[in-house]
Amino acid sequence: MADYKKMYCELMQATEFAIEQLIDAQIKAEEIYMNSQKEPLLISRHEQRPKEAQPQEAGQEQAGHKE
């Protein structure tokens, strides 16, 4: 009979190791990215377009459609 406990433990140890490796790689990549930024990224808000300038919703006809 298969030793399911041993199989489970082996799989869980390998899974935990893989997760730790992925987390370490993500942290290193984030550090590289953060250290490469010479200027901070600025996010600006765009003013909302007037209703008539917004694209029409799907299903509405382009020409001649009035509500």
User: What is the tens place of the pLDDT at every residue in 48-64?
Assistant: 666 666 566 665 555 55
The gap from C-alpha 6 to its chain's centroid, in whole angstroms, comes to 36
Q: How wide is the angle at C-alpha 61 spanned by C-alphas 56 and 66, nearest 5°?
A: 80
The total of other beta-carbon atoms located within 10 Å of residue 35's CB is 8
Residue boundaries of the structural domains of the chain = 1-31
pLDDT band for position 24 (cuts 50, 70, 90): very high
Q: Which two tokens stand for residue 19?
A: 């997760």
